[in-house]
Amino acid sequence: MEIDSSPKCGYPNIDKPWEKYFTGKYDEQENKKIVYQEVHDNNIDQPHTIALEFFGSKISFQKLDRNINFAAQSFEEYGVKKGDFVTIVSAGIPETVYSFYGLSKIGAISNMMAYYFDENGLINRIADCESDLLLVMDQFYPQIESAISKSRIKNVIVIPTLNSSILKYISKGYKLQKSNELYWNQFIKDGRKRKATDTVTYEEDLPLTMVYSSGTTGASKGILLSNDSFQNSVYSYRRSGVEVGRGFKFYQIIPPWYSTGLSTSIHLPLASGSTVFMDPRFERNIFIKNIVKYKPNYSVAPTSMYEGFLEEKLIKGKDLSFLKYPFEGGEPLRKEVSDKIEKVFKRHNSNAKLLVGYGQCECGATITSETPKTNHVDGTVGIPLPGINIAIVDEKLQPLTYGNRGQIIVDTPCGMIGYFNNPDETNNYFYIDSNGIKWYCTGDIGYMDEDGNLFVEGRASDYSLVNEKQVYNFDIEKAIMRNSNVKLCDVMMNNNLLTAHIVFNNEFLVNSNSDLLTEELIKIQQGIYEEIQDADLVPHSFKIRDSFPYAKSGKRDTLSMKEETEGFILLNSINSEKKKIIFK
């Protein structure tokens, strides 16, 4: 690789040291198509190539395009026009793909919602975007039916989960009960009598889809993304060094109500001519079994999914030589875990590395990624993708030099238009600098090294106050995780005490041995003190857990953990000479 000998000023957002890894100049202006047009144009000469695989069915690009057009006709038959929102509550199934691109074709917007929204949240979000039509996967409908009956939705299109599968005739699903409900196939039949729809002309910042923030700090916010967001992301990946193209197969497992599930896991591979393997079940054993059986070349999934490779019975005697690019995101990845997983890959004939990425829905999905061209550095989440710039700034939004910790802000062509109908939150999120550049303020804390590797440490809001002193919880967690016996940890305030919730490795048995547990917690306290250098900020409240609770969103349920009042262990502070555990 050619050595970069250009002088550096010390600021990563100016030096852009990551650009040495890329070939060709990034120019987002090349992409002047809506997402439907991109998929259509890039695959029109490959009609028989497989676009989607779903429970035994193989759907060609020709059939994909035909089904997208049928969906577009049906949307128009039901009164949907350019600028309208259609609410979709569905996982990764072909009908989700047809609907997403069908709405794009006519200039309408897919309002992607998760089935676990609470009733008021669902009703209010539907009202916000004035959506009258709902598409819902039958397995999700009973969980939201009550809310929908109280909302402004006029027609409900129920999609049998296995409708596109060879198993559709033997599966049992939701039975229609109301006059405004109809099945997907009838919906499509109703639109067949219409003439083919026209494809809308490209417009800058033409809205495409809306996903939602997690709502952990208040009501969830609608994140409005444009066709440009998705298109520029595709264009960025093509110059990143990751092989994306015809002949490859992608395992789509991230739900489409996340931007990663739509942009990186559906549009990127289809726009590049790859095959998308779909299975809506978000279960680790099924994930591993599908990889072994259907041989995808790349995937994006949380660490917990890839940990299934450590269960030898799931892959015993199987060949993994096809596996090239397993990407991890959304959860912390410990080197010890990634090393174990990669050793399994190696034993089963794959040289794949578990690649780490970092993103945010507001930024259109992916911001940074490890790529085959970069040198792996422990703890990094990779380098900015082509066309994306990153600055590390202090509390006054002034740039910091390499190695200095601050807020991560991003200049990206892939980001959101804004928070829908929420100008105050939108203005608070964006920062316009003196050069007129619009920066996306992620709210995450991190730093960058001189090679362009980004290190993300945690949320700026993730801190505790102890004796009027502020400490980032993730700094304490990082110190705890240096203990090889700890598998997972989370630090927060419980009962007005700084508390460490700890999951020990399975082989480290402390639950039945009070002395051993005391000894280990003392070691953990000492390790924290060595890093923090402040005894007041060393936890002396602990909760030993077998596992962490997870919310329906798939994220750790820290809100319920903060409300817990029982099962805690109190250990004297680091200043105390006599250590004694008190069980509370």
Q: Tokens standing for 358?
A: 């970092």
Q: Please answer whether residues 72 and 105 qualify as being in contact, where contact means their C-beta atoms are separated by less than 8 angstroms.
A: yes
Is residue 315, in this structure, part of any structural domain at all? no
In this model, does residue 214 exceed pLDDT 80? no
Which structural domain, as residue segments, surrounds residue 533? Answer: 462-583
Look at residue 402 in the predicted model and tell me its pLDDT.
97
Q: By C-alpha distance, which of 282, 286, 279, 322 is closest to 302?
A: 282
Is residue 157, in this structure, part of any structural domain at all? yes
230-252 burial string, b = 16+ CB within 10 Å, else e? bbbbbbbbbbbbbbbeeebbbbb
Q: Between 1 and 122, name the one with better pLDDT.
A: 122
Is residue 443, in this structure, part of any structural domain at all? no
Query: Last residue of some domain: 231, 259, 280?
Result: 231
Look at residue 257 in the predicted model and tell me its pLDDT.
96
Query: Last residue of some domain: 184, 214, 231?
Result: 231
Q: What is the mean predicted confidence (pLDDT) over 164-171? A: 81
Which tens digits make up the pLDDT trace of 346-405? 999 999 999 999 999 999 989 999 988 887 788 899 999 999 999 999 999 999 999 999
pLDDT band at 113 (very low <50, low <70, confident <90, very high): very high
Cross-strand pairs, 546: none
**Which CATH number do you get for residue 470?**
3.30.300.30
**Which CATH number do you get for residue 180?**
3.40.50.12780
Look at residue 510 in the predicted model and tell me its pLDDT.
66
Is residue 360, in this structure, part of any structural domain at all? no
Is residue 504, in this structure, part of any structural domain at all? yes
Look at residue 24 in the predicted model and tell me its pLDDT.
66
In this model, does residue 83 exceed pLDDT 50? yes
Look at residue 266 in the predicted model and tell me its pLDDT.
97
The model's pTM is 0.91
Is residue 66, in this structure, part of any structural domain at all? yes
The mean-pLDDT minimum among 114-123, 407-416, 567-576 falls in: 567-576
Q: Token pair 């991890």 is at which residue?
A: 328
Q: By C-alpha distance, which of 427, 538, 542 is closest to 495?
A: 542
Look at residue 243 in the predicted model and tell me its pLDDT.
82
In this model, does residue 512 exceed pLDDT 80? no
The DSSP H or E segment spanning 408 is: strand 406-411
In this model, does residue 576 exceed pLDDT 80? no
Q: What is the mean predicted confidence (pLDDT) over 105-116? A: 97
Look at residue 575 in the predicted model and tell me its pLDDT.
60
Q: Tokens standing for 303?
A: 């660490």
Is residue 68, in this structure, part of any structural domain at all? yes
> How many structural domains does the chain have?
2
Query: Last residue of some domain: 187, 204, 231?
Result: 231
The 3-state DSSP class for residue 190 equals helix
Using CA atoms, how far apart are residues 211 and 416, in angstroms rounded to an integer?
A: 10
Is residue 169, in this structure, part of any structural domain at all? yes
Look at residue 331 in the predicted model and tell me its pLDDT.
64
